[in-house]
Amino acid sequence: MNYLEGLNDAQKLAVLAKDGPISVLAGAGSGKTRVLTTRIYHLIREGIPANQILAVTFTNKSAREMRARVRTMLGEENLSESPFVATFHGLGRELLEKYGKVIGVPRFFSVYDRDDSEKAIAAALKALDVDTKELSPRAVLGRISRAKGEGMRANEFYEKNARSGFGARITAEVWLRYEKTLAAEKSLDFDDLIALPVRMLQEHADVRALAQDRWQYLHIDEYQDTNALQGRLTNILAEKHRNLFVVGDIDQTIYTWRGATIENLLEFDKKYPESQTIILERNYRSTKNLVDAANAVIEKNKNRKEKYSTTEQAAGESIVVHMARSAEDEARWIALKIRELMKKGTKPEDIAILFRTNFQSRALEEGLLRAGVPYKLLGTHFFARKEVKDALAWIRLAMEPTREVDKLRAAASPPRGIGKVTLGKLAAGQRSLLRAGELAKVEQFELIIAELSQAASALTPSAFVRLVIEKSGMRRALFEEGSAEDRERFENVEEIASVAARHDENVGKEGIAAFLAESALASDQDELDQGEKTGVTLMTVHAAKGLEFGTVFVSGMEEGLFPHQGMGGEKDRDEEEERRLFYVAMTRAKDRLFLTLARVRKIYGTDTAAEPSSFLADIDNSLVLLDETEDHDIFF
């Protein structure tokens, strides 16, 4: 059992605990991913068929990393099947693709991303003559998403809210129209990928039995971030064999605002009275000063399970706190401090700047640009870029030629003289009303789609993407005839083939559907895998969850900003969640942590005097170094 070498006693206990429900409370940097992958390997070595093992993570990035680690551990061992490792949405997609026909889900369905959903809801609001300034599509989608997360259906919501206030009533009517749009497009949205599998498993005992026997050993990572419906899906799948292994850290619960419920982990031993609890407290990531400071911050929370991180690492550098005069001065100081670190040999890729709210990024970007520090800003997904969405529309259209949304986008990308009016006539069955020139363009467009649709059955996903790029005319429009900017955009289009290649083991529509699902479910962290740009990483603290960097700057450490007060004042703030969020920010750092703030910050156009964050007072003075240098003093 040499694969157990290097594990501490608690980690070994978790790896070797084979049967029954087990909860692992894993502190930051405690090696939980190693525990999960080693346990999966151990189960296979113990004779458990690999295809009976399920592991669920929260991002595509972490799922890919876990699959790669398991494959590396298995080495040359001859396995006809592999463990199924996916996100919750990936698991939902798998269940619906395999068994969804019992509830009317088509075999090859598309997945609406948030942008698609907001556009469909905007169209429904327009049809109801509702001004989107009065009720935004994003707000309506958020309300629908929360209701779906609670297991509610559109008809139930309508019956409950048809006579309610304006917002709820309009949302109910929009939801009914939205469901019709999804059905017509043979599509589902993010929330359907959880809600529909739960409904299917609850209503169809035969399917439930098949799913429970398919995966007899379940592993759920980041269990503290599951919502009620994800918890229900987990419990249904584990109900028969009860081999459920969950890993989480209540101190890192930072997503209650989008439905995560801390109770899934807090009450695990009540749901499973026979369960075993294992605590991983040794931090392998951060220096002792950082671990001690993080402990001091998080122990103030009351709604948690007792856990105290320890480390055998050296004390390391003090935590640097710097107060600047303004947000612009804060940004300049950070940029120049990074330049100083880079001169001493620190790689920019090992540095992150974290912020609590998105508006802070503007000043930070300007500071880095002026200092000549390379950076990348997480937040604009690779798959959300216009040229990438254009190519994806062509790919989806080849898979399902009836999708009107994709027809509109593909017909205009690149332009071929087919407008919305022409496509509207086609959708209304008025083909005979088209003029000869219009009809010729439409027929040529349809011929390309038909050719691609036929080719999709025989090509690998990456080869199919390359064919789409050629046949659609995107190569000609962007690369051969385009501007320098267009050619840069074409590089993003080409990158789609590289992403699709991850699914090349499945030739034909199966592999293409898997690639499309990955593209729809991409997260901020997937941007880090594109490798197109190097430099310091800028992102929100929420986006940094699960990542680590040698040096971390946390900006905006001001009362009302972090902890964040919100638009509704004190009543809008969950202090314990804000404290957990700060704990997550601190524990991203391995070696150095800088906490910065401004005396005055412009918020909503008004200069606002700031007080230091109350969280700073939680850190013992012996762990802190107050840096009072001005930005111009660093080099001059």
Q: What DSSP state is assigned to residue 236? A: H
- Angle of helix 386-399 relative to helix 461-471, nearest 10 degrees, comes to 110
From the list 97, 173, 189, 222, the catalytic residue is: 222
CB 374 within 8 A of CB 350: no
Cβ burial of 436 (10 Å; 0-12, 13-18, 19+) is exposed
From the list 304, 389, 396, 588, the catalytic residue is: 588
The yes-or-no answer on residue 588 being catalytic is yes
Whole-number Å distance between alpha carbons of 86 and 90: 5
The yes-or-no answer on residue 396 being catalytic is no
The yes-or-no answer on residue 346 being catalytic is no
From the list 113, 185, 221, 577, the catalytic residue is: 221
For every residue of 495-561, DSSP letters joined together read HHHHHHGGGTTS-SHHHHHHHHHHHHT--GGGGGGT-S--SEEEEETGGGTT--EEEEEE---BTBB
Peptide bond into 374 cis (omega under 30): no
Q: How many CB atoms lie within 10 A of CB 480?
A: 11
The yes-or-no answer on residue 19 being catalytic is no
Whole-number Å distance between alpha carbons of 591 and 286: 6
From the list 12, 32, 208, 232, the catalytic residue is: 32
Q: How many CB atoms lie within 10 A of CB 510?
A: 16
416-430: buried (b, 16+ CB within 10 Å) or exposed (e) per residue?
A: bebeeebbebbeeee
Return the half-sphere exposure (C-beta side, CA atoms, 13 A cut-off) of residue 187: 30
The yes-or-no answer on residue 222 being catalytic is yes
From the list 57, 181, 224, 252, the catalytic residue is: 252
Whole-number Å distance between alpha carbons of 465 and 452: 10
Return the half-sphere exposure (C-beta side, CA atoms, 13 A cut-off) of residue 18: 8
From the list 33, 256, 276, 346, the catalytic residue is: 33
The yes-or-no answer on residue 530 being catalytic is no
In the chain, count of helices (H) and strands (E)? 25, 16
Take residue 3 and report the two structure tokens written for it. Answer: 């694969």
Give me the active site residues, please: 32-33, 221-222, 252, 588
